[in-house]
Each structure stands twice: as C-alpha cells, then as structure tokens.
Amino acid sequence: MRISVLTLFPEMFDALKHSIIGRALEENKFILDIHNIRDYSKDKHLKCDDYAFGGGCGMVMTPQPIFDCINAIDPERRARRVYLSPKGRRLGQDLVTAYAGLGHLILLCGHYEGVDQRVIDLEIDEELSIGDYVLTGGELAAMVVIDGIARYLPGVLGSEQSTDEESFSNGLLEYPQYTRPQTFNGLSVPEVLTSGHHGNVKKWRLEQSVTITKKMRKDLYRKFTARNGKESGKEK
C-alpha cells in the first residue's frame, strides 16, 4: 500500500518515523510519501493561501498548488483521494479497514479555514473527519488515519500483537489489561487471569467487555445486544 500526503508542513510527519510505524516504514511494509504543497505554487512568493471571497475571518488554501500537486502524484487518477475536514464522514474502524485494502490512498491536509471548494469538487473523492472539532491543520488527523490503517497492513504488528481481540473488533470495547507485578499498591490482578483456566479467562474477558461497553458506549452496547439477542455476560 502507498499513502501519499499533501501538506504545507511536511516536517510534522517526522513523528511517524518512530516505534511501530517507523519500523514498518523502514521494513517497507507500506510506502509513505509526503509532498509539500508549497513546492507547486506558481505564485512569485509561493503563496498557498488567500482571503476568502465574501469576507469573513481566516484564510483559504488556494486551488492551483493543490491541483498541480495531486495530479503530479496521481496523474491517472487511480488513488482514493481523501480530504481531512470536520465536514467529512466520521472515521471509524470500518473505514480504517476499508482504507487498509487500498493500493494508493492520498490524504490532503487543509489549513486555516480549509481549501478552495473547487479543488474539492474537481479532485477529491471524499472528505473524512476524525471528530467533531476543528483542528489548526489536517496533519494530525492524517497521522491518526495512517496509524490506524498501518495496524491492519501485513507484517506491521508483530506476531505477539493482533487486531483480533481489541476494541471494536467484535463490536465491544476491550477488557481490562494487567501485567506484572501481580500486586501493585495493594491492588491484585483478578484471580481468574492467573488461574490458567483459559475458558474462564475468555468468559471473564467477554463479561468485562460487555460491562465496559454498556457503561461507556451505549450505542455500541445496543448494537451488540441486538446482534446477540440478549445480554451476554453478567453486566452490572
């Protein structure tokens, strides 16, 4: 998979050179190319923003540099072209896994009040939001998308990690996790987890997941019980 990013601040993506994503990039598990929109500006001062027609506060990113940049990256228009924006479709596990199956994903990062609508109309397939708030730029949103996708790409998560039993994978939030020491500040690990009885561990984990989901995400809980016809686990 190739992910191409259009941004005015390419150096922000140095943050992805660390940890699991950094190793995956070094091992070519996926390709990430970062493009500076400003390199494509035909303005003599390399301007990439201007005042909004109709007035109002804030600047808008001009269409020409973005248009030329995205078409230099994807001249045959084969990539899925996504613009990070508060007006977009909400990112969820379904979209993350769908994007992970793409050959080439382009992420356009807006700034200021966003980008000129004409470049969205002409060059963008869909707008995507990571949440109902307005950020100073789309770069952090793009990194969230990249991180979420990368976890589903072959070879990125080691054999000791898996996307199988984590939050949202079965429609529930994940159960509590514990590690050594067995007692910490007077608090002990639930006995079932050290019992060696795998069936009881599995049952306890499901019960915990259902209880946590019921408490924290009624929406997910309702979908889960509707799918499973009853309350599975000893919800409190």
Residues within the interface to ligand 4H4 (CB under 6 A)? 84-87, 110-111, 113-114, 129-131, 133-135, 137-138, 141
As given in the structure block, the two tokens for residue 84 are: 């990070």
Helix (H) or strand (E) holding 214: helix 198-216
What is the Cα–Cα distance from 4 to 132, expressed in whole angstroms? Answer: 24
Nearer residue to ligand 4H4 within complex by CB, 31 or 134: 134
CB of 145 to ligand 4H4, least distance (A): 8
| Residue 107 backbone class (left: φ over 0; alpha: ψ -120 to 50; beta: rest) | beta
Residue type, 70: I
Q: How far is the CB of 215 from ligand 4H4 (least distance, A)?
A: 26
Nearer to ligand 4H4, 149 or 212 (CB): 149
Q: What are the residues whose beta carbons fall under 8 Å from the beta carbon of 4, sequence distance 6 or more?
A: 32, 33, 34, 35, 73, 74, 79, 104, 105, 106, 107
Q: Give the separation between CA 126 and CA 43, rounded to whole angstroms.
A: 28
**Nearer to ligand 4H4 by C-beta: 19 or 117?**
117
User: According to DSSP H, which parts of 59-160 are helical?
Assistant: 63-73, 93-100, 117-123, 139-150
**Nearer to ligand 4H4 by C-beta: 63 or 138?**
138
Q: Cβ closer to ligand 4H4: 6 or 84?
A: 84
